[in-house]
Amino acid sequence: MNPDLRRLQPYPFERLRQLFAGTTPPAGLAPINLSIGEPKHATPRLIFDALTAALPGLAQYPVTAGMPALREAIAS
């Protein structure tokens, strides 16, 4: 293993989980979840449709030079 791995800091959400272990929020107050930011809302239809439409292209690598439309947009 790489010896530099010992120099990594602990994952912040693991530390937060340890700090919250065994605690109970005061009765009558709703806690604010400060843990990892997992999505709480459904994916917007626009994004879902775009991802679904792009699925057939996932089985092939893009061209090395890039897509012509993207290259043109960058050049502009």
Summarised one tens digit per residue, pLDDT across range 25-39 is 889 988 777 777 777
| Per-chain mean pLDDT for the chain | 86
Summarised one tens digit per residue, pLDDT across range 54-64 is 898 888 887 78
For residue 8, the 8-state DSSP code is S
Helix segments in the chain, DSSP class H: 12-20, 45-54, 68-75
The pLDDT, as a whole number, for residue 32 is 79
Radius of gyration of the chain (CA): 22
N residues, the chain: 76
First-to-last alpha carbon distance for the chain, in angstroms, is: 47
